[in-house]
Amino acid sequence: MEPFIIFGLGNPGREYERTRHNIGFIAIDKLSISWKIDLSRVRYKSIVGEGKFNNIKIFLVKPLTYMNRSGNAVSSFMNFYKITPDRILVIHDDMDLPFGSLRIRSGGGSAGQRGMQSIISRLGTHSFPRLRVGIGRPPGRMEPMDYVLQKFSSRDQEDLDFVLNAIVEAVEILIADGIDKAMTLFNHSVLDND
């Protein structure tokens, strides 16, 4: 069976750690802990972990190309391993979803997310699974770029733990039982207070 590659989008560098825009990186870190996959190698302009889940070979990948060039790392990986687009999952932030909401889709546009735009452009298709993680809209008149590059607040941090646990469950269902079941179970807010 073909390997499954999970890409979490974010920006490299200490100044971007734990920011809303880096929820993809944070999700990959959580998956690596849950599945005991070491993220220690650097290949194809990415931090990479290799292991197994459900007897399927898994790659966990954090592209180091910066968000708007994510397609370079994704296409390099897919070309080397001869992976078809249905065997990848891209996890990224989405301001148009409330914080705590997940949306799994088998394809679609980028919704203005630059990492996704880059991947769609480099792959020449928009037909690949993605998991959008809601980070909510900026408050008041705050600029969107300032908002996405802010670290999660201490209040959000508690809820973030629930969100990350739900992401792990959603990805496990997607791999084991297929995307339709994952969409049915997880396309909603995972927080009790929403």
How many Å apart are CA 99 and CA 88, to the nearest integer? 24
Residue 57: strand, helix, or coil: strand
Active site residues: 21
Long-range contacts made by residues 153-162, C-beta under 8 angstroms, separation at least 24?
Answer: 156/99, 159/99, 159/100, 159/191, 160/26, 162/100, 162/190, 162/191
Handedness of CA 148, 118, 162, 186 (dihedral sign): positive
Q: What share of the chain is helix, strand, coil (3-state, %, to 5)?
A: 45, 25, 35
Q: How many residues does the chain have?
A: 194
Q: Quick one: tokens of 96?
A: 């148009």
How many Å apart are CA 78 and CA 81, to the nearest integer? 5
